[in-house]
Structure 1
Amino acid sequence: MSLYPDKKLTFYINGKDAGSSTSSSINIRDGNNEDLIISGQGTQCGTSPCNKFKGQMDEIRIWDIARSVSDINQSMYRTLSGKEIGLKAYYHFDDLYGNKAKDFSTNGNDGDYYGTFKTSHHIISPESAVEFNGNTYIRAPHNHALNVESRFTISTWFNTDSDTKEQIFLEKGTWQGSWLYFLKPVNGKLRIALASKNWSPITLNGKTDIQKNKWYHFAASWDGTTRRIYLNGNLEASDTPNGTLGSNNYDMHIGGRQNYYLDGKLDELQIWNTARSQSDIQNTIYQSLTGSESGLVLYYNFNQIDDIFIKDISGTINDGDK
């Protein structure tokens, strides 16, 4: 919702104009001493809030400027720094911080929780995730920048429709000398694995049984000595395999290959030529990137998909085709 200087009040839903009203009678009172109430009405109901909201909220932002539709769309799926000009209060609810609703703007408008609350994380833009139907994939033509044999980090959000099928997320090359990571059935359930035929042992499996139709964030890193797997920012497994990771001239396949196609969705797929730390991974799990980050060699946020091409937002231009 934005209130413009010409007293035009505009509501936006999912970044689109959902209605507006212009009236000379619209006025916002200055200088009141009332508390800010989130999820209910305040003093109009007497001594305690009424008409309380039941549901989920996230990324509450209050500005002292009327933001344009372009401004709203540009930051709709991004976590803010809290230092943006005009930002007066910002609650992203990533943690309950005891009994305080922490204000992440620079104004210190922390709130108090009344009642029992819990947090639940979500991906940045579920509407833009790409869906694979078990017989589809994306191909990114070979680019030397994707031969990240000395060190790398690969991460993505995923949601699978099957818990009985071995499915490849990403592969560059062939099984004989490639790198890939995938979902692997173990006793009828799925686990995550990072593998290369040049390593011994070949696979590194996670420990968590993956549930179908549920979103997870997966990251895998290799620093030349140690490989690590993270699930939702938490370290799942690590080891120090023997061997090296070679380069090749193969195209990269996203969503699988014959007999190993992905049934499900991917979002925010990133490949880095650096071994990112756990804190680096955690800091960007719920953030969209600009594409200009140092070490980022491929970035598909799947916000820009046409009938043929998948746009790479990084600076190396690894656009994929469907």
Structure 2
Amino acid sequence: NAGYINCSLWTNETSWSEKEGNISVITNNSINTIAETFTTDGTYLWNVKCVNSGSLSAFSTSNWTINIDSTAPTYSDNSTNTTLVGSSTLFVLKWEDATNLSGYIFSFDNGTGSFTNDSFVEFSGILNWSNVTKTVNNTVGSTIQWKVWSNDTFGHLAVSNTYSYITIGVEHFEITLSTPLNNTFVKNEYVYTNFTVIGTESTYNCWVYVKGLKNNLNSSTQNNTETSILVNVSIGENSWYVNCTVNEISNTSETRIIIFDISTEIEFISPTENNGTTIGTTYTYINTTITDDLNTTAFIDWNYSLVGLWRFDNSTDFLDHSSYSNDGTNNGSTYNSFGKFGGGRDFDGVDDSINCGNDSSLNFGSSSFTIESWIKSDTIQDGKILYKGNGTIDFINGVEYTLYGDGSDSISFYIWDGTNDAWADTSTTVFDGNWHHIVGVFDGTNVSIYLDGNLEDTMDATSVGNIDTSNNDLIIGSTNTYTLGNLWNGTLDEVRLWNRALSEEEINASYNTRFYRLENNFTGLSDGTYKYTAYVQDLAGNINNTETRTLIIDITPPQIIIYSPENITYYDIIQVDLNVSADETIDTWWYSLNSGTNTTFSPNVTINIIDGQNNITVYANDTVGNENSITVFFYIGNTSFTFEYASGLNKLTFDATGYSGTFAAINQNSTTPAINITNIGNINIDINMSVNTSIESCITFYISEDNTLDTGSDYNITNSNHTVLTNIIENASVSLWSWAVFDSCTSGNLYSYALYYDSFAS
């Protein structure tokens, strides 16, 4: 009808909706075109909606169907039912298409190497079979090849793989081994061998031979069917093959090798310290024994110094097996079941790498560290085995440490602080397609590189300062720029990173414990607690380890305190208590009095001493033999002097106004006045004092009108056994009289006494 001004396309491609295509000017009774792009193959409905100038709209009276098909047919399930020479053989493929198949062409060389195409055969539907029967030639051992071409109704063309098989004669058969592959390592003595017999008979009598001897039998092996036979292998290399017999005709497969490697045993042996031992030296020797007939790699994780261990032992193993969990993120590398020890990782040299992050444990600054890895490559290259830094090795960018191919047939170990660098290179061929063990060591002074256990190069590195890589990820197989030419091309296994310099003994054991014992003398140790574990891995990937042991280093001697005797003068004693302690557990105590004989003791003891100057030296050692001593000096004054009031009751006499006579005695410790005295004249104090003649020049007697004993009247004693009579003139203002004995030879010790009286007779 006339009058329509706009038409639009509607489809159900995702949901029933209007599409972007439309026509704004419509020609009546003529073909009008709207274009639409479909993004997905399939069958869809479509319609057109038109609107006239009066805003009235209408759809077509029915929906239309369209098939979108942009892909070629696919195939599967190829088979041939026989390979006998001169036989009629059926060749079959299953074909599928999203919309509709058109047909196929069968192509066949019949063992000549030159293909001939059959005529086009039509078939239809979304699924069909190409079935062709051919008579194969009569030449035994011919390689018969065939393939099929097919297209759909839209003209999309596909071709199958080229399939092939070998023709056999009457009663001739072939034995094909599948698994295990040659030189496979196994961890169990029982192994399934898998093979297929292809011949003209339905069943065969098949033996698996191991080391040339019959091992196990399947007497009804089916033709053209994979068969499994369980065999028993012994430790080490086991050659094996399959021999089958039918109608007194036999045939033998190729020979392969199975390597049975049991879990390797490792243990600590003498002179390794027992767990929990405390020693008083700055070194300890660790020794191990490993039980394995084949090559193994082994190491000691001393005090958690292993900061990265990437074993790559299975298809998803990018884990760090050290204590630090510096796990990797894979970027393209592929699993290789034939690593050096178990599995490994293949890197293509184009875009493969593993990023292990930027944990602080991977930044060594100016401290020692070690990189090691097993490598296998036949390509001379600049690829990086391990890299941490902020640029390529161009002496312009930042800082870095790396182990890498140097562009010639060698490997380099390189460090750079941004200003100064150092490196060491291997001198032996490494890119020969064989496994090699590479170790780079920085010991704080030199950089060194080892190849297969041998030191190949050393360079002074004292000019290199702080290698601060704290802002950069650690990359295995590339630099952090991932630029072509810096990526490793080959296989890596057992990549390890240490925060210390490995010794030559450790490097040799890591290379091959079959020839080198795992042992090491750890030196330069300070006080502290250390933990260590030894690990071993065999060629099959079996891993074992010792228990974790703890070692305590104690080189600090015990600190001794003498509480008694003190550095003073003692009187009226003939023994002292020796009272001591220490800040740790003591194994043995002993002392020497006045530089005499050493005497062992257990705190605390009583010791007989002599008059005069004495000294005691106390010794102690702890449980690991650290020894210390301390000396105290003291003086014994037993015969310096004796001091008492004069004998008799009349210790004090008084001349008093209006009274004279003897009063009752006053005890030296008494606080009770003897008599009420209102006016005292003279006070006589009788004091008996005996002084040893050897020190009488040291003794002074003081008397004072107050309690300041270093002033006032004094009386110096010049000989022994004196009776001192002191006449004191009364001073009415004085209520306290004091006297004292002063011994100037023994640090000025004072022995004082006082007499009080009350002038008011209260």
TM-score by length of 1: 0.53
Whichever residue aligns with residue 405 of structure 2, its letter is L
CA distance in structure 1 between the partners assigned to 2:263 and 2:370 by the alignment: 21
2:511 is the counterpart of 1:261: no
Whichever residue aligns with residue 460 of structure 2, its letter is T
Contact 2:341 2:494 in 1 (8 A): no
Note closer, same or farther for the CA distance 1:230–1:172 as it changes in structure 2 (3 Å cut). Answer: same
2:352 is the counterpart of 1:132: no
Note closer, same or farther for the CA distance 1:246–1:200 as it changes in structure 2 (3 Å cut). Answer: closer
Secondary structure of 2:507's counterpart equals helix
Contact 2:340 2:374 in 1 (8 A): no
Partner residue in 2 for 1:172: 388
Secondary structure of 1:281's counterpart equals helix
CA shift for structure 1 position 124: 7.7
CA distance in structure 2 between the partners assigned to 1:275 and 1:239 by the alignment: 15
CA shift for structure 1 position 239: 1.4
Note closer, same or farther for the CA distance 1:238–1:144 as it changes in structure 2 (3 Å cut). Answer: same
2:388 is the counterpart of 1:142: no
Which residue of the other structure, out of 370, 373, 385, is the alignment partner of 1:153?
370
Range moving further from structure 2, 129-138 or 208-217: 208-217
Partner residue in 2 for 1:14: 186
2:297 is the counterpart of 1:80: no
Which residue of the other structure, out of 184, 192, 200, is the alignment partner of 2:411?
192
Please list the CA deviations of residues 81-132 of structure 1 after superposition, one character each: whole Å capped at 9, or x if unmatched.
3899xxxxx66266xxxxxxxxxxxxxxxxxxxxxxxxxxxx9845401111
Contact 2:422 2:459 in 1 (8 A): no
Contact 2:415 2:467 in 1 (8 A): no
Contact 1:273 1:295 in 2 (8 A): no
Which residue of the other structure, out of 263, 268, 274, is the alignment partner of 2:500?
274
Contact 1:255 1:261 in 2 (8 A): yes
CA distance in structure 2 between the partners assigned to 1:197 and 1:221 by the alignment: 14
Contact 2:374 2:435 in 1 (8 A): yes
Secondary structure of 2:508's counterpart equals helix
CA distance in structure 2 between the partners assigned to 1:77 and 1:174 by the alignment: 44
CA distance in structure 2 between the partners assigned to 1:286 and 1:179 by the alignment: 26
Note closer, same or farther for the CA distance 1:161–1:225 as it changes in structure 2 (3 Å cut). Answer: same
Partner residue in 1 for 2:431: 211
More helix as a share of residues: 1
CA distance in structure 2 between the partners assigned to 1:207 and 1:129 by the alignment: 25
CA shift for structure 1 position 157: 0.2
CA distance in structure 2 between the partners assigned to 1:295 and 1:249 by the alignment: 31
Contact 1:58 1:91 in 2 (8 A): no
Whichever residue aligns with residue 455 of structure 2, its letter is L
Q: Percent identity?
A: 23
Contact 1:78 1:124 in 2 (8 A): no
CA shift for structure 1 position 200: 3.9
Please list the CA deviations of residues 263-321 of structure 1 after superposition, one character each: whole Å capped at 9, or x if unmatched.
1011111111110101011112247x9xxx8599xxxx9x7xxxxxxxxxxxxxxxxxx
CA shift for structure 1 position 238: 0.7
Whichever residue aligns with residue 152 of structure 1, its letter is F
CA shift for structure 1 position 244: 1.7
CA shift for structure 1 position 13: 6.8
CA distance in structure 2 between the partners assigned to 1:235 and 1:208 by the alignment: 11
Contact 1:79 1:286 in 2 (8 A): no
Note closer, same or farther for the CA distance 1:58–1:148 as it changes in structure 2 (3 Å cut). Answer: farther
Structure number with bigger Rg: 2
Name the count of aligned residue pairs: 203
Whichever residue aligns with residue 244 of structure 1, its letter is G
Partner residue in 2 for 1:243: 464
Whichever residue aligns with residue 293 of structure 2, its letter is H
Note closer, same or farther for the CA distance 1:179–1:83 as it changes in structure 2 (3 Å cut). Answer: closer
CA distance in structure 2 between the partners assigned to 1:179 and 1:78 by the alignment: 35
Contact 2:236 2:261 in 1 (8 A): no
Partner residue in 1 for 2:441: 221
Partner residue in 1 for 2:549: none
CA distance in structure 2 between the partners assigned to 1:235 and 1:59 by the alignment: 31
Please list the CA deviations of residues 185-241 of structure 1 after superposition, one character each: whole Å capped at 9, or x if unmatched.
23xxx2111112327454322211223311100001111111110001110111112
Please list the CA deviations of residues 1-30 of structure 1 after superposition, one character each: whole Å capped at 9, or x if unmatched.
xxxxxxxxxxx972365259xxxxxxxxxx
Partner residue in 2 for 1:310: none
CA distance in structure 1 between the partners assigned to 2:185 and 2:499 by the alignment: 38
Whichever residue aligns with residue 361 of structure 2, its letter is A
Note closer, same or farther for the CA distance 1:77–1:129 as it changes in structure 2 (3 Å cut). Answer: farther
Partner residue in 1 for 2:293: 92
Contact 1:179 1:245 in 2 (8 A): no
Whichever residue aligns with residue 160 of structure 1, its letter is S
CA distance in structure 1 between the partners assigned to 2:506 and 2:493 by the alignment: 18
Contact 1:160 1:262 in 2 (8 A): no
CA distance in structure 2 between the partners assigned to 1:168 and 1:230 by the alignment: 17
TM-score by length of 2: 0.24
Secondary structure of 2:505's counterpart equals helix
Note closer, same or farther for the CA distance 1:183–1:127 as it changes in structure 2 (3 Å cut). Answer: same
Partner residue in 2 for 1:314: none
CA distance in structure 2 between the partners assigned to 1:204 and 1:192 by the alignment: 8
Gaps of 5+ in 1: 1-11, 21-38, 42-56, 61-74, 85-89, 95-122, 304-322
More strand as a share of residues: 2
CA distance in structure 1 between the partners assigned to 2:492 and 2:386 by the alignment: 11
CA distance in structure 1 between the partners assigned to 2:405 and 2:355 by the alignment: 19
CA shift for structure 1 position 153: 1.0
CA distance in structure 2 between the partners assigned to 1:127 and 1:253 by the alignment: 22
Partner residue in 1 for 2:287: none
- Which gives a bigger RCO, structure 1 or 2 (Cα 8 Å, sep 6+)? 1
Please list the CA deviations of residues 40-88 of structure 1 after superposition, one character each: whole Å capped at 9, or x if unmatched.
89xxxxxxxxxxxxxxx8499xxxxxxxxxxxxxx9476433899xxxx
CA distance in structure 2 between the partners assigned to 1:278 and 1:235 by the alignment: 8
Whichever residue aligns with residue 146 of structure 1, its letter is L
Note closer, same or farther for the CA distance 1:91–1:252 as it changes in structure 2 (3 Å cut). Answer: closer
Note closer, same or farther for the CA distance 1:228–1:202 as it changes in structure 2 (3 Å cut). Answer: closer
CA distance in structure 2 between the partners assigned to 1:275 and 1:125 by the alignment: 24
CA distance in structure 1 between the partners assigned to 2:433 and 2:352 by the alignment: 18
Secondary structure of 2:464's counterpart equals coil
Whichever residue aligns with residue 390 of structure 2, its letter is T
Note closer, same or farther for the CA distance 1:142–1:239 as it changes in structure 2 (3 Å cut). Answer: same
Note closer, same or farther for the CA distance 1:157–1:77 as it changes in structure 2 (3 Å cut). Answer: farther
2:468 is the counterpart of 1:252: no
Note closer, same or farther for the CA distance 1:83–1:230 as it changes in structure 2 (3 Å cut). Answer: closer
RMSD value over aligned CA atoms?
4.1
CA distance in structure 2 between the partners assigned to 1:18 and 1:280 by the alignment: 35
